[in-house]
């Protein structure tokens, strides 16, 4: 039986991933603010450290897969704390337990939004591991209103995809035989998007930003199944990729520009 850690397991994509893994007979240690095996706040250092410690206890120090789904889209600094630092700290904290597995794998949830305009100040500080600096840059933007504050979200995801690309080929990850990849969804119908998609203005805004010619808005399962494959024993050679599973949004927006 493989043991997986799924963050954000209480809702949306994380909950669908937990269900898909259970259906395969895997053991899942869910991490979330509430309704989880490990209840912790991944926006803080203390919360991340406590989550790692509790997971190590529950797993006996051996973890076969880590899937980081927990994330938020608030136009505020906490979005950078959860989406970038919460994810990278969990992955780094659980790397020793992954190394103890015979077939370790890791995957994170980035976003189509990683291709949108970003704040270079947030992205650069995040990748430098400077959390106070990244949060200060996000706070300075948020003070100028929600439109600039929103940059925290695409910036956190751009930094995350780039971090995955860099780390995946390092001695720590590739050198330990751990495939590390990201998935970038389009618009997924989950509690995160419910409010926006439920009103005509929000819906029009989302659909203009994320055009999905293939099958339109996607269910959480479309991402969960991909995360399950990326962290399965079958994935032996994929590293550093951000897989756009987005109804064709990336192909529509970027076209030949890759």
- By the criterion CB under 6 A, which residues form the site for ligand NAI? 8, 10-14, 32-33, 41-43, 69-73, 82-83, 109, 111, 185, 187-188, 190-193
186/41 Cα distance (integer angstroms): 26
Specify whether the CB–CB gap between 84 and 126 falls below 8 A: yes
Specify whether the CB–CB gap between 186 and 212 falls below 8 A: yes
The nearer residue to ligand NAI, 101 or 193, going by C-beta atoms, is: 193
75/108 Cα distance (integer angstroms): 21
Q: Which residue has the tokens 């005509």?
A: 200
- Residue 172: closest CA among 105, 68, 96: 96
Minimal distance in Å, beta carbon 253 to ligand NAI?
14
The nearer residue to ligand NAI, 132 or 195, going by C-beta atoms, is: 195
The nearer residue to ligand NAI, 43 or 161, going by C-beta atoms, is: 43
The nearer residue to ligand NAI, 120 or 191, going by C-beta atoms, is: 191
Measure Cα distances from 104 to 65, 78, 131, 177, 231 in Å: 6, 30, 28, 7, 8
Minimal distance in Å, beta carbon 43 to ligand NAI?
4
Minimal distance in Å, beta carbon 13 to ligand NAI?
4
Q: List phi, psi (to 5°) of 11.
A: -155, 160
Minimal distance in Å, beta carbon 120 to ligand NAI?
20
Minimal distance in Å, beta carbon 28 to ligand NAI?
14
153 is catalytic: yes
Catalytic residue among 4, 153, 216, 244: 153
132/137 Cα distance (integer angstroms): 9
The nearer residue to ligand NAI, 76 or 178, going by C-beta atoms, is: 76
Active-site positions read: 153
């Amino acid at each position: 039986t493989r043991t997986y850690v799924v963050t954000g397991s209480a809702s949306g994509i994380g909950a669908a991933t937990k269900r898909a893994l259970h259906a395969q007979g895997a053991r899942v240690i869910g991490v979330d603010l509430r309704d989880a095996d490990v209840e912790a706040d991944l926006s803080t250092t203390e919360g991340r450290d406590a989550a790692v410690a509790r997971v190590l206890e529950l797993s006996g120090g051996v973890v076969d897969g880590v899937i980081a789904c927990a994330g938020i889209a608030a136009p505020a600094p906490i979005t950078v704390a959860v989406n970038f630092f919460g994810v990278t700290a969990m992955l780094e904290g659980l790397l020793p337990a992954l190394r103890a597995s015979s077939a370790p794998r890791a995957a994170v949830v980035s976003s189509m939004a990683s291709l949108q305009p970003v704040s270079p100040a947030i992205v650069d500080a995040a990748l430098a591991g400077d959390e106070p600096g990244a949060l200060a840059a996000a706070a300075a933007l948020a003070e100028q209103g929600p439109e600039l504050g929103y940059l925290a979200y695409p910036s956190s995801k751009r930094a995350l995809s780039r971090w995955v690309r860099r780390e995946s080929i390092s001695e720590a990850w590739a050198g330990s035989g751990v495939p590390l990849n990201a998935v970038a969804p389009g618009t997924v119908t989950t509690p995160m998007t419910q409010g926006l998609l439920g009103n005509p203005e929000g819906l029009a805004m989302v659909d203009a930003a994320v055009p999905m010619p293939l099958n339109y808005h996607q269910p959480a399962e479309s991402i969960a199944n991909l995360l399950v494959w990326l962290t399965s024993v079958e994935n032996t050679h994929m590293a550093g990729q951000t897989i756009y599973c987005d109804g064709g949004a990336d192909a529509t927006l970027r076209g030949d520009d890759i």
